[in-house]
Structure 1
Amino acid sequence: MISDDPRLPLPVRISRLKRSRRLRLRVDHGSGLLKLTMPWRHSARAAIDWVAGQRPWIERQLAAAPPGLPLQAGAKVPVEGVERTIVHDPAARRGVHLTADELLVGGPAESLAAAVERWLRTRARERLSAETAVIAASAGVTVRSVSVGDPVSRWGSCSSSGAIRFSWRLILAPPDVLRFVVAHEVAHRLHMDHSPAFKAAEERLFGGSVAAARSELRRLSPSLRAVGRG
């Protein structure tokens, strides 16, 4: 359910959760929505009134959001957590070529943004497929397929059939963050919930506590979702 309220700067997407005990609100910069979770029997009208009362906090969150980062010559884009500068050379061989500190892009300028995003998606699929294979083998489970997309809020998902889908933007993040998301989704091949057994499997597959990687992903999320936008 999505609600528009004139008191608020963004629409509110409301999700009712049977296990929820209180109202929770977050700003999703990628989708341009306020996301509200609420107890199953809570009044939607009362919940929206509560969100309206959080407007000062919402506006602080919006003001702190990083600006969009278009994929253009001169832009500094992280690849596996390392910042690279996009350099355009129309005389260079077509495609994107990675160096220690640059993404060198050949071909016409009008195709630069599409070429860089295509290259990032391809690298993400290759890196995530390889990491998933390693972690799935250590878990003793099978994965039916690995694909990438650009979901507005999730970093990964795992279906009951074993199909795992990731955000291509994970290739922008440091390797430990990417591996944490892979471990999380592969752990769902063992437990399709977030029970203590799932959390234990997640940490075993990751190789230790996931707290630091989870915290880093939360910190980086707005800037990762800004890449290619604006």
Structure 2
Amino acid sequence: MKLSVDNATGQVRLTLPPRAPVGEALRWAEGQHDWIARALARRTAPVPFEPGAAILYLGEEVGLGWDSGFPRTPLLDDGQLIAGGPREGYERRVERWLRRQALAVMSAETAEYAARADVTVTRVAVGDPKGRWGSCAASGVIRYSWRLILAPPEVRRATVAHEVAHRVHMNHSAAFHAVVRELYGREPSRERAWLRANAMRLHSFGRAS
């Protein structure tokens, strides 16, 4: 059983494994008042993709700028991500750029780790799931949250190693974690802790205020 809080709405979500008794789960959730209160208190304000905002990119703070004389495609220059074209649609252009960067970078890193593990990955895709940073299907398709491109590179790479390791073991056994350590080069506990601590912040970017 798992409790999570949607940073944008404050909605508390209870996730159950298959065939779990609902009554028992609800009683357990009702006893988590303190955790829920702390999670709600940690909610971060939304940061829309608008000129003047500051976001994370590769773990570093980047300012968003707009200049109608610049090309429509955003350009990263000296700590600023600047996009031109009309003001209308600016937010969509910034998010599309971030998604393209995420797909390109994590496709390359997935191929790198897959070659090390001697496994095949049929396709890499990015989306915006709220409850997970990556998933690996039995078909060989790996999906990532595009928001990983906002995180420090080592955090993103640890997540990629985790998903590629599922092409060896489709579980979270000791053998699976040994593959993760072998691919990544060490135990990624610091990276997992960073994601847990910064999950709500990463999900705040691009949200309407």
Q: Paired residue for 1:180?
A: 158
Q: Paired residue for 1:229?
A: 207
Contact 2:110/2:164 (<8 A) preserved:
yes
Pairs within 5 Å for 1:51-200: 51-200=29-178
SS of the residue 1:193 aligns to: coil
Compute the displacement of 1:25 (Å). Answer: 3.3
Contact 1:105/1:112 (<8 A) preserved:
yes
Compute the displacement of 1:35 (Å). Answer: 2.4
Tell me, in whole angstroms, the C-alpha distance in 1 between the residues paired with 2:70 and 2:56.
Answer: 22
Structure 2: runs of 5+ lacking an equivalent:
none
**CA separation of 1:93 and 1:36: change in aligned 2, threshold 3 A:** closer
Q: Paired residue for 2:3?
A: 25
Tell me, in whole angstroms, the C-alpha distance in 2 between the residues paired with 1:179 and 1:189.
Answer: 16
What letter is aligned with 2:184?
Answer: F
Pick which of 69-78 and 56-65 moved more: 56-65
Q: What percentage of aligned pairs have identical amino acids?
A: 44
SS of the residue 2:112 aligns to: helix
Compute the displacement of 1:59 (Å). Answer: 2.5
Question: Following superposition, which runs of at least 4 residues in structure 1 exceed 6 angstroms of deviation?
Answer: none
Q: Paired residue for 1:10?
A: none
Tell me the C-alpha RMSD between the 2 structures. 1.9
Tell me, in whole angstroms, the C-alpha distance in 2 between the residues paired with 1:41 and 1:100.
Answer: 52
Higher-Rg member (1/2): 1
Contact 1:91/1:106 (<8 A) preserved:
yes
Tell me, in whole angstroms, the C-alpha distance in 2 between the residues paired with 1:126 and 1:41.
Answer: 39
Q: Paired residue for 1:7?
A: none
Contact 2:66/2:82 (<8 A) preserved:
yes
**CA separation of 1:26 and 1:69: change in aligned 2, threshold 3 A:** same
Tell me, in whole angstroms, the C-alpha distance in 1 between the residues paired with 2:72 and 2:3.
Answer: 45
- Relative to its length, the structure with more strand (as a share) is 1
Q: Paired residue for 2:188?
A: 210
Compute the displacement of 1:137 (Å). Answer: 0.7
Compute the displacement of 1:209 (Å). Answer: 1.1
Compute the displacement of 1:52 (Å). Answer: 2.9
Contact 2:8/2:207 (<8 A) preserved:
no
SS of the residue 2:172 aligns to: coil
State the TM-score, normalized to the length of structure 1: 0.84
What letter is aligned with 1:69?
Answer: V
